[in-house]
Amino acid sequence: MNRRAFTLTSLAAIAAAGPAVATERFTFPSIDGGDYDLAVWRGRPILVVNTASLCGFTDQYADLQRLQDTYQDRAIVLAVPSDDFAQELADNAAVAEFCEMQYGLTLPLTTIQSVRGPGAHPFYRWLARDHGFVPQWNFNKVLLDQAGQPVQTWGSGPNPMGRRIRGALDGLLAA
């Protein structure tokens, strides 16, 4: 399933689940065109990960896809490519091709975004301002609960399919 079909399937599932209350609303441009609106995914946990194609942690892409495949419509994994640490490819087309060819990614993937400082995407500015979280490197992870609020953050090290992240997701889904 491609990312666009994934998004349409996700939209239908959320609409069926009913409305959820949110305090903030963020959209990210999709690397395939269009936008990802986090509010559309409310009602499900969302793992947001700042990524980079040339990082030593890039192999985590495979486990991010496995995590998305494992949780399917119960949770979302959103990859946010960033060149803030000078380890991303030159443009969105190169990132999209790399992710598809090397990892077969179908999970939602945004365009290249800044995740630190005053030029950061509004989502990351909100995380820094209201929740004290600023990515310190690539593949930092933020878990949002079903209402879109951050409940846990991790640095680059924890594996997306590892006990810590899956345990946190399972805990949210069981609540």
Q: Kindly name the residue from 14, 49, 55, 120 that is annotated as catalytic.
A: 55
pLDDT per residue over 93-122, tens digit each? 999 999 999 999 999 999 999 999 999 999
What's the start-to-end Cα distance of the chain, in Å?
A: 29
Q: What is d(CA 19, CA 14) in angstroms, rounded to the nearest whole number?
A: 8
CA dihedral of 46, 69, 13, 113, whole degrees rounded to 10: 40
> HSE-up of 70 (CA within 13 Å, CB side)?
14
Known catalytic residue at 55: yes
Q: Quick check: pTM over 0.75?
A: yes
Q: Where are the alpha helices (DSSP H) in the chain?
A: 3-17, 60-71, 92-103, 122-131, 163-174
The model's pLDDT over 10-69, given as tens digits with 9 standing for 90+, comes to 444 434 444 343 457 999 999 999 999 999 999 999 999 999 999 999 999 999 999 999
Query: How far is residue 97's CA from residue 15's CA, in Å, rounded to a whole number?
Result: 31
What region, left, alpha or beta, does residue 132 occupy, with left being phi > 0 and alpha being psi -120 to 50 degrees?
left
DSSP letters spanning 51-87: E-TTSTTTTHHHHHHHHHHHHGGG-EEEEEE--TTS-
Whole-number pLDDT of residue 13: 42
Q: Which H or E element spans position 46?
A: strand 46-51
Structural domain spans, the chain: 3-18+27-174
CATH superfamily of the domain spanning 3-18+27-174: Glutaredoxin (3.40.30.10)
- Kindly report, residue by residue over 128-146, the tens digit of the pLDDT: 999 999 999 999 999 999 9
CB 67 within 8 A of CB 78: no
